[in-house]
Chain A
Amino acid sequence: DVKVTQSSRYLVKRTGEKVFLECVQDMDHENMFWYRQDPGLGLRLIYFSYDVKMKEKGDIPEGYSVSREKKERFSLILESASTNQTSMYLCASSLWPYNEQFFGPGTRLTVL
């Protein structure tokens, strides 16, 4: 089975802190994605990556950056965390050319 793991299930940070969310997949997938999920808004795509060192903006990239130095790892970075970034963050991966995305369990981030 494909496994997508995220570094933390729960995280509490303070406003202004730099936050790193890590995602690792073990099935050699080319594509990786970061979403955030908020009540009433569904899942929204932040960034995605089709290959190592490649990244593209999703629908809500403001306030975030990403890094993909190795194929299996995709990091989401909050340069200066703000309270409106309190959310559930979900990572996903997919194998080119297939479209099925496999999701991790999510990281619930609270920014105080």
Chain B
Amino acid sequence: DAKTTQPPSMDCAEGRAANLPCNHSTISGNEYVYWYRQIHSQGPQYIIHGLKNNETNEMASLIITEDRKSSTLILPHATLRDTAVYYCIVTVSNFGNEKLTFGTGTRLTIIP
């Protein structure tokens, strides 16, 4: 599986858009980009995933560059409850039999 690189920490003002970057320069053509987050003392929570097209759901948007070597997770209107560690994961999607390799992620702090 390709490895990912994320900044260790970021701050964002409450109400602003939080943009979390991820580099995955060795990603293969059949590998997906997944984002999870982990709020303190809880298990990780799935946010979104994509292959090559941009994706949006009720939680966030995922922007993947055309060469697929990097992506950005966007939380459009960050709230204090979005304070968490965010993980960018690249993995082959094998119809649900994927293995997720979590790195150390980005610790996002939302500032009031």
Contact = CB atoms under 8 A, between A and B. Distances in A.
Give the interface centre of A40, A42, A95, A97 by most chain B CB atoms within 10 Å: A42
Interface stretch (B9-17, B22-30, B69-77, B100-108): B100-108
A99 to B, nearest CB: 5
Given A95-B96, A96-B96, A97-B96, A42 B43 contact: no
Contacts of A37: 102
Contacts of B44: 43, 90, 92, 101, 103
Contacts of B43: 4, 90-92, 103-106
A98 B104 contact: no
Given A40-B104, A42-B105, A105 B42 contact: yes
A94 B93 CA distance: 13
Nearest to B47: A100
Interface in A13-45: 30-31, 35, 37, 40-45
Q: Give the interface size class of chain A.
A: 20 to 34
A92 B46 CA distance: 11
B108 to A, nearest CB: 16
A50 interface: yes
B98 interface: yes
Nearest to B45: A103
Given A99-B49, A104-B43, 16 more contacts: A4-B43, A42-B87, A42-B102, A42-B103, A43-B102, A45-B100, A50-B97, A90-B43, A90-B44, A97-B95, A98-B96, A99-B93, A100-B49, A101-B100, A105-B41, A105-B43
Interface of A: 4, 30-31, 35, 37, 40-45, 48, 50, 58-59, 90-92, 94-106
